[in-house]
Structure 1
């Protein structure tokens, strides 16, 4: 990987990096590789980047006055040459510190426009940059102008990661979405804007004395409407050249209009009705693994190194790309519950072309089906000189990681057997009539003996369906139904048997029928493994499955 050392000019530079989390690790590591003095500020004293830093300030990133105090301490202790962040909401804090200490950076005015979605849209609109039509609402307000027609999108003005962002199609949905968005807004303000349907792109760029250098344009893969969950991105974009030029042109106009003249810029741009529209523009490099991992893997160049140089007043010194690979990032997610273990990581890492796996959960973590980008369980990155190989490897890796959930948890049971939320698709659906007919005939459990929880032996088997190989459904990670079922058998050690053969064989254990298939079709491998683990726990604790199932179904 090509970096930008420029060691003579950069010797002994001292930089304050806001954030010590995963997304800031590339900046911390690169600055240390340059032999700079690195101070890290973070609201958590357990951030992973702290151990790499020379100095740590335990400061909330939004507390800009306290951050200025920390920078002043750093200056008194030996000097400060720059302040920097990537992948956080706090470019405004960076600008305030830079202005107060006369450090390189953009103006506070520009940072404010890049940090507040309403101010950003007004600034861009005034400069004839295309943005969706919108209205800003203060906490408690719910009236929107008649010229805004459904479908609409509700967003907090000052949050990232798609938190509190939702599409709405009627007044009832608007009211509940506004309640959610206000909860995620630090300032108590939201925007409601027209929904633009079309492909979406992420852009990273460096800006040096007003000159913009693009550092990657990626296709974003947005799922789970009415929410906007990015299940991954692929870089470089596969969009036609004329579309990319239109997107780049509108982005350049937006960067100039906001006033980002020295630093970094990150944009989310939609292509709709033959034109590019600015969705977001931030005065920083992106989170979501693009600037720190996928663009470097794709190009061989580290944009973070150039951004750090600019932050301390040095030339960006960013070389041209040395390779033209595709890098694909794919997230892995979970159904609701509590994590018991994260399994099969070794198998996922062994997949050819997988470069990195990030696990964001641990045993005891509460997990949910994601409604934003911070609720995913982890991410898999793969790279290749062939686009199809990079995509398939990342997807296979994400599908291979298995998040096992604590058995018997009510939230998991309600998700699998209770009233469905319509926006969450089933992991699998059956299309073959023979399989559907067989499933309709199955009872929940066979072989429970005199007491529902006490079979005559400890064995568990699954009632098989006649032609699983003919089912074409894939789950949220792209894993086929038959492959998922086979993988479940390996994870649990149970076998699958035809109901009639099971009866004729004289088996005296349990055969899970529709109880298993309901869980598997709704929740995929996770749901199927969970119900098997739960049945095993029921037997240990002498619990009646019918009572538990009734609780879940009626919740």
Structure 2
């Protein structure tokens, strides 16, 4: 009988039996820890010997997760030398490797063909089409296709281009015209292991993520969240909120489509897990995609347990070990929010505010992906963000406010000068977008601001900022929800300077170019501009600011 830790943890449910876990990254950390809590001996494989969770494993083997034969051979060796009870993964795109090895070893799992259906978007769409599962029209391209004139799409623009066999929104983007299609296909093909890209109808509407445990014909939903997607033409998830705030009727219609998709792929022919990305469009529910594994993105291992009190990873481990899990119902009804923080392009000089973020009431975790000296870029996929904050609270508003506030408290200072940062701050392209989107009146006021005079080599403590009330008094918000005044305060915090807003006399004064940098790059752009002046002043260059 499964018990949540609030009812009493399942300790030593297994007595030294072994489980093979694919992946030693952050997303697999809960599976490794919980398996050990259950009394299982964990054998963990990853192609990276320095993966962050390697030290948690009882035994680690460095094997590429694409090497299904090598992993199956390891499983055979384990079976013949002490036994092996199950194999699993979470948050990776190697469910086909798990299914292959499980079939070869006679272990619980889903059919290998079903895993291929869920790992290849071309096969997936064909399964949905044959079974009448609601999903977009599609067509597939290869590198050979690009050598000649591209054929017309069998549906209208806009469309979405993505590799058939990758995750994390790598190589995924919206295209609105035939002229944009070639470049998008080249990008997607670069992320495809099989050299294929799929082009689909664009599905308009809110997006949701759902996790489920599958035990033969039983499908148990264990987590349904609102996804927060931004920055077209890419699809960057800036967070999710668990549970979804969608109404019961609409939720039921999405679940009906999700269950039909699971069955169409053949996942329900075995035991395992399924993760779906769903959209509620003007035409009704549509399946974005379904993976034959638990979700990544901090959902299955963190936000669902925080929101429900139920350890979903524990249920998945029991399933992988051939046991029929029970007690799926939530033990409490909280909200858990995950929010990301990002950066404009450049090289990280320092990061501050982490302790403040971690000490924010209701915040459970802060995960950092960037570090001093690391190169950062504005995200074009979901693996190039700088970090994530997770919160949990009895009320939805409290959880969201805590996660968003903590994410805003993390400040990333970039090195100056840097050509990538400088190029971003002077760019006018729609992507990457600017931190703020001023209207025509604010832009006109910006253009009326004076350029500062030449400076004498004064101390930076004397820097002033020319007033710009049209911007600072506006209701504009940056990517993270900071007001102009809050971004200014972040610049002061990072640089350690007072930076009073006033017309100057015998001082260094920041004018139009400072405000332009702040509008384009947010607090990072403003701090970068000040740091550039700092470098010039220290080096005695005496240039115009």
Match of 1:111 among 78, 94, 115: 115
Task: Please state whether the residue corresponding to 1:516 is helix, strand or coil.
Answer: helix
**Is structure 2 residue 218 aligned with structure 1 residue 215?**
no
- Structure 2: 5+ residue stretches without partners: none
Report the Cα offset of residue 438 of structure 1.
5.4
Report the Cα offset of residue 78 of structure 1.
2.1
Match of 2:389 in 1: 380
**Is structure 2 residue 261 aligned with structure 1 residue 254?**
yes
| Counterpart contact for 2:4–2:10, Cα < 8 Å | no
> Which piece of structure 1 moves more, 127-136 or 527-536?
527-536
**Is structure 2 residue 78 aligned with structure 1 residue 74?**
yes
**Is structure 2 residue 375 aligned with structure 1 residue 369?**
no
| Counterpart contact for 1:333–1:377, Cα < 8 Å | yes
> Which piece of structure 1 moves more, 269-278 or 222-231?
269-278
For residues 513-552 of structure 1, the C-alpha deviation after alignment (integer angstroms, 9 at most, x for no partner) is 1221111110111111111122212223344656xx9xxx
Match of 2:359 among 345, 350, 357: 350
| Counterpart contact for 1:471–1:482, Cα < 8 Å | no
Give the distance between the partners of 1:538 and 1:512, measured in 2 at CA. 14
For residues 390-448 of structure 1, the C-alpha deviation after alignment (integer angstroms, 9 at most, x for no partner) is 1111111111111111110110011012x322133321244595x65653343443451
Change (3 A) 1:112 1:436: closer
Match of 1:518 in 2: 516
| Counterpart contact for 2:237–2:382, Cα < 8 Å | yes
Report the Cα offset of residue 337 of structure 1.
0.4
Report the Cα offset of residue 11 of structure 1.
2.1
| Counterpart contact for 2:416–2:531, Cα < 8 Å | yes
For residues 176-201 of structure 1, the C-alpha deviation after alignment (integer angstroms, 9 at most, x for no partner) is 00000000000001100100101111
Match of 1:229 in 2: 236
Match of 2:173 in 1: 166
Match of 1:204 among 200, 203, 211: 211
Report the Cα offset of residue 48 of structure 1.
1.6
| Counterpart contact for 2:461–2:498, Cα < 8 Å | no
Match of 1:91 in 2: 95
Report the Cα offset of residue 466 of structure 1.
3.4
| Counterpart contact for 1:447–1:455, Cα < 8 Å | no
Give the distance between the partners of 1:392 and 1:30, measured in 2 at CA. 30
| Counterpart contact for 2:455–2:542, Cα < 8 Å | no
Task: Please state whether the residue corresponding to 2:279 is helix, strand or coil.
Answer: strand
Aligned residues: 536
Match of 1:528 in 2: 526
Match of 2:57 in 1: 53
Match of 1:422 in 2: 430
Match of 1:552 in 2: none
Report the Cα offset of residue 497 of structure 1.
4.1
Give the distance between the partners of 2:366 and 2:332, measured in 1 at CA. 22
TM alignment of 1:380-529, pairs within 5 A: 380-417=389-426, 419-430=427-438, 439-449=446-456, 454-455=457-458, 459-466=462-469, 470-498=473-501, 500=503, 502-503=504-505, 506-507=506-507, 510-529=508-527
Change (3 A) 1:441 1:304: same
Task: Please state whether the residue corresponding to 1:10 is helix, strand or coil.
Answer: coil
For residues 332-383 of structure 1, the C-alpha deviation after alignment (integer angstroms, 9 at most, x for no partner) is 0000001112211111122221111100111121111011000100111111
> Which piece of structure 1 moves more, 248-257 or 318-327?
318-327
Task: Please state whether the residue corresponding to 1:288 is helix, strand or coil.
Answer: coil
Task: Please state whether the residue corresponding to 1:121 is helix, strand or coil.
Answer: helix
RMSD (Å), alpha carbons: 2.0
TM-score of the aligned structures, taking structure 1 as reference length: 0.92
TM-score of the aligned structures, taking structure 2 as reference length: 0.94
Change (3 A) 1:268 1:429: closer
> Which piece of structure 1 moves more, 1-10 or 405-414?
1-10
- Structure 1: 5+ residue stretches without partners: 550-555
